[in-house]
Amino acid sequence: MRQCAGAVALVTVGAEHGKRTGLTVTSACSLSDNPPSLIVCVNRNASAHTRIREEGAFAINFLHEDHALLALTFSGQKGVNGDDRFAYGQWTRGATGAPVLTDAVAAFDCVLAQEFETTTHSIFVGEVRYVSHSDGAAPLVYLRSSFHVPHEIRGTVSVGDLDSRHLSWTDFS
């Protein structure tokens, strides 16, 4: 999986100061647009795992290029734990009470709709209650054990444009 680029996000939980926590993931993605929902995979040993179950809500905050240190902080690599992680970055409370990063590329405030358990992780399904986004922010991705920013995104290529689809597929052949 180190060969597969993933969008870097912070999963945050906790409506009350002192009881907030979160973690860094690349395992968050959309599930459905009806109802709007996302999934995220969380290790059962992570502090946020139990808190998501207790709160019944969480936020998924997709990071931009200036958030690499924030990603490291929430991954535990900076020695900062629990609520102390929220001293970094600018936070607000979402509709569910979950912490939302104000300058995230996109932030999804969700209620916990379903949970599926595997051997080491749970897959949490969140139904979206609120969305915010920052136009023009370059997303942070994780690839081969490092953070990167995709510089070659074509703003003119659209999946619905037949000529663009032809162009994009011929670029790869």
Q: Whose structure tokens read 């509709």?
A: 95
pLDDT, position 60: 98
State both tokens at 108: 């999804």
pLDDT, position 171: 53
Burial of 103 (0-12, 13-18, 19+ CB in 10 A): middle
Kindly list the domain boundaries of the chain, sorted by start residue.
6-164
**CA dist., res. 68 & res. 71, Å (int):** 5
pLDDT over 60 (residue 166)? no
pLDDT, position 151: 73
More confident call, 39 vs 4: 39
Element spanning 59, H or E: strand 57-62
Give the whole-number percent of the chain exceeding pLDDT 90. 74
pLDDT over 80 (residue 10)? yes
Nearest to 13 by CA among 61, 64, 77, 45: 61
pLDDT over 90 (residue 157)? no
End-to-end CA distance of the chain: 24
Q: What is the dihedral of CA 75, 77, 81, 83, to 10 degrees?
A: -60
pLDDT over 60 (residue 108)? yes
Read off the pLDDT band of 159 (50, 70, 90). low
pLDDT, position 155: 56
Average pLDDT over residues 139-152: 86
Between 3.30.428.10, 3.50.50.60, 2.30.110.10, 3.40.1180.10, what CATH number should domain 6-164 receive?
2.30.110.10
Read off the pLDDT band of 173 (50, 70, 90). very low
More confident call, 39 vs 164: 39
Phi, psi (5° rounding) for residue 123? -100, 115
**Three-point CA angle 104, 109, 111, nearest 5°:** 160
> Is residue 7 classed as helix, strand or coil in its secondary structure?
strand
Beta bridge partners of 122: 42, 117
The Cα-based distances of 97 to 49, 76, 78, 80, 111 in angstroms read 17, 23, 26, 22, 10
Q: What is the pLDDT of residues 50-73, one digit of tens each?
A: 999 999 999 999 999 999 999 999
